[in-house]
Amino acid sequence: MTTGESEATVAGGAMPALVELRDAVVVRGARPVLTIDGLSIADGTTLALVGPNGAGKSTLLLALASLLRLARGSLMFRGATVGRRTELAYRRHIGLVLPDPLLLDTSVFANVAAGCDFAASRPPAARPQVAAWLDRLGVAHLRDRPARQISAARPSG
């Protein structure tokens, strides 16, 4: 291994981690709100975060997207540490959908299609991928729902 490569492997195999957090702490205000000893996510893995409101699910996603700075620890992408000089390049590989849409305030299908379109050289080719991903993630039934209405924690009205 060269310097900076991750030695972590995903449980049960020798596949190196695509994204990894080590000894990570996120602080908001003056108090730690998230502590992760170690998290390795292999390329091609689907990760589901489940927990009550306030458990740190969104905080973890924001830290993994390098949108929240770690007070301690490291974020690695394909074995290389993500730092201030490399975080923009890293963010170009990350997609994050939160319950409150900031930019794409359309249907679930249209929002996912837009993400595929941004990444594709020929946007119309992405449309069949949208339905496949919605099915794979078990959210195909939400395809026509407005993005502002997909969070169960969000009050209706």
Give DSSP secondary structure letters for 56-120: SHHHHHHHHTTSS--SEEEEEETTEE--TTTHHHHHTT-----SS-SS--SBHHHHHHHHHHHH-
Return d(Cα 104, Cα 112) in angstroms, integer.
9
Domain boundaries, the chain: 1-93, 97-157
pLDDT digits (tens, 9 = 90+) for 99-153: 666 667 788 888 888 777 666 555 555 678 888 888 888 888 888 988 777 765 4
pLDDT at 142: 87
**What is the assigned CATH class of domain 1-93?**
alpha beta
Global pTM value: 0.59
pLDDT digits (tens, 9 = 90+) for 2-38: 333 444 444 555 566 899 999 999 999 899 999 999 9
pLDDT at 154: 41
pLDDT at 125: 57
Mean pLDDT computed over every residue of the chain: 79
